[in-house]
Amino acid sequence: MKQVHLAVQLPAIHNVTVWSDPRSESQISIDSFIRLAQAAERGKFDFFFLAEGLRLREHKGEVYDLDVVGRPENLTVLAALAAVTDRLGLAGTVNATFNEPYEVARRLASLDLLSGGRAAWNVVTSYDAFTGENFRRGGFLDEADRYTRAAEFLRTARELWDSWAEGDVLADAASGHFVREGAGRFAHRGRHFDIEGRFTTPRGPQGHPVVIQAGESDAGREFAASDADVIFSKYSRLEEARPFYADVKSRLAKYGRTHGQLKIMPTATAIVADTDEEAVAYADEITRAQVSPQTAIAHLEGVWGRDLSGYDPDGPLPDVDPEPESLVLKGHSVFRKGREETARRWRKLADERGLSIRELMIEVHGGQTFVGSPRTVADAIDHYVQSDGADGFVLVPHLTPGGLDEVVDRVVPLLQEKGVFREEYTGTTLREHLGLGAPTSPEETS
């Protein structure tokens, strides 16, 4: 049987987090990060993940505060968590469009050293001038260049990590030599980066931090197959997930890689209660809190590109057409492409099923992945993995910081009982948790 891999994400973006719930605590306090990370480590999870956006989203020109707004920088938080966890992997999003390889490689190598080999990097790109305004005037890349820059960015970072070999730190008091000659020397010549110098940070326990990617396009899938160790997937329905899984895994061979060298992990939710019936009722309550009347209208405005505040969220869709060139909700990637086609699809679905605006938004943006008693949820997770829909899941709790406790305390023991999830960590690094081999150098994959 395949082993299930589990991770947890503290979202703090999108409308998953129900920050208005009385049980919700601070979204930025170090205590919240620590409690969620330690719950994941208690459950023997592979890693703790922080997503990140580089600009506060805006709705009609104002900060979009229906979601959580603002959070400390990812790698700073993960470095703090390295001191209060022992085995849990520490993964963070770092943008390859508005950063430079030397700086990012150094920060990630430092995290890997400080954590004893638990660092991971979710490589993302940015597409819009709206985000670029925070960094440089008119500063953003054409979409065709995003993945070419990201691929070269990652290749350059790997060259920097490889500039130090194991044993380069001599610290030989007798000879007076601290490092081996040539340690840290690098030179990269490419389309996007032309740099030369000496890298400051010795090789970490993993050699390279684990690389995570989340692209759904053909270029994104190819990038993952060639360079990623983990790919996040949006497919939470098995009938959609299996073709994606098969497609991405089939691309590995051309890069000399095996199926086990890339883990596919969709984001998912798990709603657990004593009985299936109680869980279904609780899941409905959570979904309606996530898609509030205000959120439903805002999401519809994101596609329609116009002010719809005069419409009843419990009434029918607007009879006006979308304005495809107008942006009401900025910085939200879900609403940036194919909006006219999305509007047509939503109208068709609403007409066929008689859905109100809010009901439609719940249908397309809400809903929970795994719902039921602990046994029902454990069986569903296991079935999904054994059916080649995924290698595991990144669970996204709706509450911070206590939203993972039910899964850790009630579902994980049943997965362990099935023999599909570890009872104890058997390694010390994230690569070992994920069953990944040693990283390959750029020369080996070129």
pLDDT at residue 420, rounded to an integer: 98
**pLDDT attached to residue 12:** 63
Residue among 379, 401, 384 nearest 40 (CA): 401
The answer to whether residues 333 and 397 belong to one domain is no
Same domain, 320 and 440: no
Number of H helices, E strands in the chain: 16, 17
Is residue 123 within 8 A of residue 96, CB to CB? The reply is yes
Q: Which pLDDT band holds residue 429 (cuts at 50, 70, 90)?
A: very high
How many residues appear in the chain?
Answer: 446
Q: Are residues 68 and 133 in the same domain?
A: yes
My answer on whether 199 and 323 are in the same domain is no
Q: How confident is the model at residue 445 (pLDDT cuts 50, 70, 90)?
A: very low
Which alpha helices (H) appear in 116-168, and where do they start and end?
A: 129-132, 143-161
Q: How many domains does the chain have?
A: 2
Same structural domain, 94 and 171: yes
11 has pLDDT over 80: no
Averaged over 14-21, what is the pLDDT?
Answer: 89
Beta bridge partners of 50: 10, 92
Please check if 64 is assigned to a binding site.
no
Domain presence at residue 206: yes
Is 281 within a domain?
A: no
In this structure, are 360 and 379 located in the same domain? no
Looking at the structure, tell me whether residues 90 and 146 fall in a common domain: yes
pLDDT at 338: 77
What does the pLDDT average to over 189-208?
A: 96
**446 — pLDDT class (breaks 50, 70, 90):** very low
Stretch among 244-248, 301-305, 363-367 having the lowest mean pLDDT: 363-367
Asked which of 329, 350, 365 is the last residue of a domain, the reply is 365
Residue 342 has pLDDT above 80, yes or no: yes
Specify the 3-state DSSP secondary structure of 324. Answer: coil
Q: Is 369 annotated as a binding residue?
A: no
pLDDT(86) > 50: yes
Closest of 207, 204, 208, 210 to residue 263, by C-alpha: 210
In a domain, 285, yes or no: no
Report, as an integer, the average pLDDT of 266-282. 97
Q: Are residues 111 and 42 in the same domain?
A: yes
Q: Both 400 and 417 in a single domain?
A: yes
Please state which of the ranges 304-318, 336-350, 370-384, 422-436 shows the lowest mean pLDDT: 336-350
Q: Does 442 have pLDDT greater than 60?
A: no
317 and 225 share a domain? no
* HSE-CB of 190 using CA atoms within 13 angstroms: 18
Percent of the chain with pLDDT over 70: 96
What would the pLDDT profile of 140-188 be if each residue is shown by its tens digit? 677 778 888 999 999 999 999 999 999 999 999 999 999 999 999 999 9
Indicate the pLDDT class of residue 443, thresholds 50, 70 and 90: very low
Exposed (0-12), middle (13-18) or buried (19+): which is 57, by Cβ within 10 Å? buried
pLDDT in tens, 352-364: 999 999 999 999 9
CA distance 124 to 69: 20
Report the C-alpha dihedral over residues 119, 270, 347, 289, rounded to 10 degrees: -100
Same domain, 338 and 268: no
Residue with the larger pLDDT of the pair 110 and 220: 110
Question: What per-residue confidence (pLDDT) applies to 380?
Answer: 98
Q: Residue 441: what pLDDT?
A: 56
Q: What is the pLDDT confidence band of residue 70, given thresholds at 50, 70 and 90?
A: confident
pLDDT at 138: 60
In a domain, 287, yes or no: no
Question: What is the extent of the structural domain holding 306?
Answer: 292-365
Residue 24, annotated ligand binder?
no
pLDDT mean over 187-211? 96
Question: Given a cut of 90, is residue 439 above it in pLDDT?
Answer: no
Question: Distance between the two ends of the chain, CA-based, in angstroms?
Answer: 34
* pLDDT for 260 beyond 70: yes
What's 22's domain CATH number? Answer: 3.20.20.30
- 137 has a pLDDT exceeding 80: no
Global confidence as pTM: 0.94
25 within a domain of the structure (yes/no): yes
Instruction: Say if 415 falls within a structural domain.
Output: yes
Residue 125's pLDDT band, with cuts at 50, 70 and 90, is confident
Mean pLDDT computed over 251-268: 95
Which is higher by pLDDT, 251 or 133? 251
Domain boundary, last residue among 325, 350, 365: 365
Residues 18 and 123 in one domain: yes
**What is the reported pLDDT for 444?**
47
Q: Answer whether residue 286 is part of any domain.
A: no
Tell whether the model's pLDDT for residue 254 goes beyond 90: yes
Where does a domain end: 334, 365, 396?
365
The pLDDT confidence band at residue 405, using thresholds 50, 70 and 90, is very high
In-domain check, residue 197? yes
